[in-house]
Copies of this chain bind each other. A is one copy, B any other.
Amino acid sequence: MSDINNIPYKIYLSESELPKYWYNVRADMKNKPAPLLNPGTLQPMTAAELSGVFCEELVKQELDNDTREYPIPQEIQDFYKMYRPSPLVRAYCLEKKLGTPAKIYYKFEGNNTSGSHKLNSAIAQAYYAKQQGLKGVTTETGAGQWGTALSMACSYFELDCKVYMVKVSYEQKPFRREVMRTYGASVVPSPSDTTAVGRKILEQFPGTTGSLGCAISEAVEVAVSNPGYRYVLGSVLNQVLLHQSVIGVETKIAMDKYGIKPDVIIGCAGGGSNLGGLISPFMGEKLRGEADYQFIAVEPASCPSLTRGKYAYDFCDTGMVCPMAKMYTLGSGFIPAPNHAGGLRYHGMSSILSQLYDDGYMEARAVEQTKVFEAAEEFARVEGILPAPESSHAIRVAIDEALKCKETGEAKTILFGLTGTGYFDMVAYEKYHDGLMSDYIPTDAELQKGFDALPKV
């Protein structure tokens, strides 16, 4: 089960080989990502403006387009050791099943209790909040991966953690809620009567089941109106991609150690945290002209921000309380069709990835969710891991690429990010098993409504 180069089935770096720094891809971008804008003045957000909402060190990271390497503080390295390195796995069984000459590798980030890569940034954000002497942080969560990761991180640093969870998820995903409570977080269904904005929304829409935009608004309100609290976010932001670069740096160290060079690097893309983290150091080499790689972002056909969105300034949240970001977007009011079960529902995309995509450094593919679950099940049966629906978007395209190799006879090396596990997504799997899952591709007219509502900047 290992090939002639003695490459093990799973590559685990030793503790001494683990990354000591995060890599900031912005330092190597000629066209820097566009700055966040103050929605009132339409001027770039200053550090002073941002630090009412975010921790100071995180504001610095958010605005820093120049520093190439950020040393990872020792306390964060220590926490990383509890669940990292994540294994880089050679998918021998999947290759055999597909009969492909391609070599497939995946970086598996699901081997921790939060079940995903989100913990990489949650622990960093909690650390800086603690360093600043804060009492706690607030955030929103939809499906719950980010809320779970943040709860774990806050528990470790003994910070208070208030999570506003979209009400429909709160009710439909009680287990996610209980995991967060196990880690000591208080979880509030949103909209709630604990905030002014929540009360206003409940008054206007008495039966509402909530939205991510509303939960963000509540979390931000609580953060800015309670001394000693700040708001934290699990994707989209530059700081998050910086922390998530630990995925890519670790992968690169492992691949370099065994002399493996990927031809194609694939990741699913919602807000961009996992994809950005995985590709960063490889993209750096491409930007510096030192190596070439094919990068593929995979998104749901029902929420196609890169493949069918506009590159424009937009609000980061439906409630329009956050700064505006320039990104590929479907409009901040866009909500995927009700039959959408596969995650990656965000209307926009990380500014860094949007710029790289616009500059032609990265491709994007949109895939339909029934095909995604088909790939998920095929993968689970041979590789043993039950993948999250989000991660399965990357599996879909990795399989597609491997099958192309089968046709052409090329022995490409394919690397993809397996961001997490699907233990809390069995409702979606059940739909798939029962033949109740369908696909929906928004029409051009539907998308146009979102574009028409974009702010005029």
- The chain A residues found within 8 Å of chain B, CB to CB, are 1-2, 8-10, 12, 14-15, 78, 81-83, 93, 111-113, 115, 152, 155-156, 174-175, 178-179, 181-184, 377, 380-386, 421, 423-424, 426-427, 429-430, 433
Contact = CB atoms under 8 A, between A and B. Distances in A.
B380 A183 contact: yes
Nearest to A113: B386
30 contacts: A1-B15, A1-B81, A9-B15, A9-B81, A10-B82, A12-B12, A82-B383, A93-B156, A111-B111, A112-B385, A113-B380, A113-B385, A113-B421, A155-B381, A155-B382, A156-B381, A156-B384, A174-B426, A174-B430, A175-B426, A175-B427, A178-B430, A179-B426, A179-B429, A181-B430, A181-B433, A182-B377, A182-B380, A182-B381, A423-B423
Main secondary structure of the interface of A (DSSP, over half): helix
A175 B14 CA distance: 35
A82 B380 contact: no
Contacts of A184: 381
Count chain B CB atoms within 10 A of each CB in A2, A179, A182 and give the residue with the most: A182
A178 B2 CA distance: 33
A83 B384 contact: yes
Contacts of A111: 111
A114 to B, nearest CB: 9
Contacts of A174: 426, 430
User: This chain: how many copies in the complex?
Assistant: 2
A333 B1 CA distance: 47
Nearest to A433: B181
Contacts of A115: 423
B424 A179 contact: no
Contacts of A14: 8
Nearest to A385: B113
A152 B385 CA distance: 9
Nearest to A151: B381
Contacts of A183: 380-381
A451 to B, nearest CB: 38
A321 to B, nearest CB: 31
A433 B179 CA distance: 10
Given A15-B9, A81-B10, A384 B152 contact: yes
A380 B114 CA distance: 11
Contacts of A427: 175
Nearest to A176: B426
Contact of A15 (B8, B181, B382): B8
Nearest to A83: B384
A91 to B, nearest CB: 10
Contacts of A182: 377, 380-381, 386, 429, 433
Contact of A156 (B10, B181, B382): B382
A9 B377 contact: no
Contacts of A10: 81-82
Nearest to A12: B12
